[in-house]
């Protein structure tokens, strides 16, 4: 049922972007991006673009998206949006997280990124501007990647919570019962590989240009940092995405350890009733507010 629903949503998204693409002309921003893209192609090799370009995109986007949550801890007004206000971030925890991130990014993820060039060559993925999909198609493809990654993440994440293996791998990620944005990729190296594999499945299905890989990196990092941010901001535009899990949904997973296994959407948890404890918790919170 979920697969058919996902396919229907994806088909609708493609139809919508076809219409938008047909009515929107080129704009100055797109022309500037075209100039920068062609400059990159003329001055760097495909290997440099696929390898070092991908690493730079990942590092810049990751820490850029982490920045708002990092700043929020110094703003008293924002504390009313913190989901677990009794568990503030500490410098010790953030420094420990940062060191683990550097190790994972450069010793685990970088070797995986080095395979990007060979992937694009093997599947003849183009880099040129003329074959680059317009942004509405790229967004639709990113949505498709998110649907695939979410399914992979749900079942593998749930498996990592099995009592026989939890303490060996996934326990590292749960060192923080009150998550913060930078902690999104704080994990055991094996978990980085196991759950990270879901990122590449969507790329193998949808990728028809190098730009999709970078766009999907941005979308995936935005989502995972948001759900780990520890802040539930009412005006967050991601809440407009149908079935989006959000920070409060995933924050409960870190607080409770059981249930809410999905990464992006809520449908798998609904289908298998692994959100039942979360629903009970929400009901209790609502009762306290009423009282």
Residue 166 lies in a domain: yes
- What pLDDT is stored for residue 95 in this prediction? 94
Number of domains in the chain: 1
Q: Residue 246 domain-assigned? A: no
Contact 205, 119 (CB under 8 A): no
Residue pair 157/259 in contact (Cβ under 8 Å)? The answer is no
- Nearest Cα neighbor of 53 from 38, 66, 40 is 40
Task: Give me the residues of the chain with pLDDT under 50, please.
Answer: 2-3, 20, 22-24
Q: In the prediction, which pLDDT does 290 show?
A: 74
Tokens representing 169? Answer: 């791998």
pLDDT at residue 3, rounded to an integer: 47
Distance CA 134, CA 30 (A): 10
What integer pLDDT is reported at residue 23 of this predicted model?
A: 46
Residue 174 domain-assigned?
A: yes
Query: Residue 238 has what pLDDT?
Result: 93
Domain that holds residue 205: 2-18+33-233
Report yes or no on 254 lying in a domain: no
For residue 130, is it within any domain? yes
Please report the pLDDT score of residue 26 as a whole number. Answer: 60
Could you give the CA distance from residue 68 to residue 99 in angstroms, rounded to a whole number? 20
CA distances from 105 to 115, 125, 196 (A): 15, 25, 12
Residues 6+ apart with CB under 8 A from 240: none
Asked whether residue 228 is domain-assigned, the answer is yes
Decide: helix, strand or coil at residue 248: helix
CA 216 to chain centre: 8
Residue 242 lies in a domain: no
Note the Cα 51 to chain centre separation in Å: 20
Q: Please indicate, yes or no, if residue 243 is contained in any of the structural domains.
A: no
| Contact indicator for 258, 264 with CB cutoff of 8 Å | no
Q: Are 265 and 6 in contact (CB under 8 A)?
A: no
244 bridge partner residues? 265
DSSP state of 104: I
8 Å CB contact between 133 and 212: yes
CA distance 10 to 16: 10
β partners of residue 265: 244
b/e 152-190 (16+ beta carbons within 10 angstroms → b)? bbbebbbebbeeeeeeebbebbbebebbbbbbbbbbbee
């Amino acid at each position: 049922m979920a697969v058919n629903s996902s396919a229907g949503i994806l088909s609708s998204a493609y139809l919508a972007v076809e219409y938008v693409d047909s009515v929107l002309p080129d704009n100055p921003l797109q022309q500037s991006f075209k100039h920068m893209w062609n400059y990159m192609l003329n001055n760097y090799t495909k290997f440099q673009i696929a390898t070092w370009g991908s690493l730079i995109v990942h590092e810049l986007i990751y820490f850029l998206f982490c920045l708002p949550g990092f700043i929020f801890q110094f703003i008293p007004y924002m504390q009313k949006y913190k989901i677990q206000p009794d568990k503030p971030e500490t410098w010790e925890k953030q420094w420990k997280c940062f060191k683990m991130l550097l190790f994972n990014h450069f010793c685990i993820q970088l070797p995986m990124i080095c395979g990007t060039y060979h992937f694009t060559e093997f599947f003849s993925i183009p880099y040129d501007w003329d074959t680059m999909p317009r942004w509405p198609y790229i967004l639709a493809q990113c949505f498709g990647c998110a649907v695939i990654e979410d399914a992979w993440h749900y079942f593998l994440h749930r498996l990592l919570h099995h009592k026989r293996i939890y303490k060996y791998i996934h326990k590292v990620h749960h060192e923080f019962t009150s998550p913060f944005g930078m902690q999104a990729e704080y994990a055991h190296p094996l978990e980085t590989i196991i759950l990270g594999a879901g990122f590449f499945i969507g790329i193998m299905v949808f990728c028809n240009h190098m730009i999709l890989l970078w766009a999907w990196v941005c979308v995936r990092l935005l989502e995972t940092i948001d759900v780990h941010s520890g802040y539930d901001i009412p005006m967050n535009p991601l809440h407009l995405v149908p079935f989006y899990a959000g920070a409060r949904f995933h924050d409960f997973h870190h607080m409770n350890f059981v249930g809410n296994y999905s990464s992006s959407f809520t449908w798998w948890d609904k289908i298998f009733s692994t959100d039942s404890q979360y629903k009970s918790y929400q009901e209790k919170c609502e009762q306290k507010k009423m009282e």
